[in-house]
Amino acid sequence: MDISEELKGYKKQEDILNETLLRLTTKAPVAIDWEEYHRTRTVWVPSEDVARYFSKQPPGLVLEVGCGQGLNVELLNGMGFDAYGIDSSYTAINKAASEKCLLEDLYSVKGSYKHDYVLDMECLTYLDEKAIDRVNRLLCVGGKLFSRWFVETSLSVGVFTSFYDRLSYLKKTFRKVRILEKLYRELNGDRDHVREIIFEAIK
Ligand SMILES: C[S@@+](CC[C@H](N)C(=O)[O-])C[C@H]1O[C@@H](n2cnc3c(N)ncnc32)[C@H](O)[C@@H]1O
């Protein structure tokens, strides 16, 4: 057999082993180095999912938790929402597209404003149950969390908690949790592998 073919097979085995190991240790979220992440990455496009979801919602006050470089905040303000973002990464806020992005940690942000929406694009998936309580406190009654979570452990995105491992806590915290979309990817030849879940939770 061609040696490069053989190495490919070997690499696959190693990936499977690493993914399994990570899955077994996924219970407690471990932070990624977000400063490094934002130093080496510039985000140019807001999320299509966000545009699609909010185009069907009435305008209101939005807070994006883990807003990163602020593209979604800018998008939503352009769509007529009063949108703000918080992120605990200095580098992200420094690069942020909108002045309405603030350097704040979700765990210490003061919850005096009751938001109509909280937007979360893969921030809560890295955090614990207390972060969900925080989000709940930031919403008005009837307010909505629009969120995207990872499902499967992937080496390239760090260690997170799967949506399904957090689902019962989300159901306990919110009045209603509704899965809106499943995002697929190919993993080891399996095309029907769910990678992320997009959901809405109503307070
Ligand atoms: C996967 S990135 C998503 C960035 C952005 N929402 C986007 O879609 O491009 C997750 C973000 O959550 C932020 N983050 C992580 N822990 C946080 C915390 N405790 N409080 C606020 N932001 C946090 C990180 O700095 C990072 O920018």
What is the per-residue pLDDT across 172-189, written as a single tens digit (0 to 9) for each? Answer: 999 999 999 988 766 556
Sites in the chain below the pLDDT cut of 50 = 1, 3-30, 155
The pLDDT, as a whole number, for residue 9 is: 44
State pLDDT tens for residues 31-55: 688 998 899 988 777 788 999 999 9
Q: Report which ligand 1 atom has the smallest distance to the Cα of 92.
A: 27
pTM here is 0.83
Distance CA 139, CA 116 (A): 6
The pLDDT, as a whole number, for residue 156 is: 62
Q: Report the top-level CATH class of 4-202.
A: alpha beta
Residues with CB under 6 A from ligand 1: 34, 43, 47, 65-68, 86-89, 92, 105-107, 121-123, 126-127
Sheet holding 101-103, edge to edge: 101-103, 82-87, 61-65, 115-121, 139-150, 190-202, 176-187
The pLDDT, as a whole number, for residue 16 is: 41
The pLDDT, as a whole number, for residue 196 is: 87
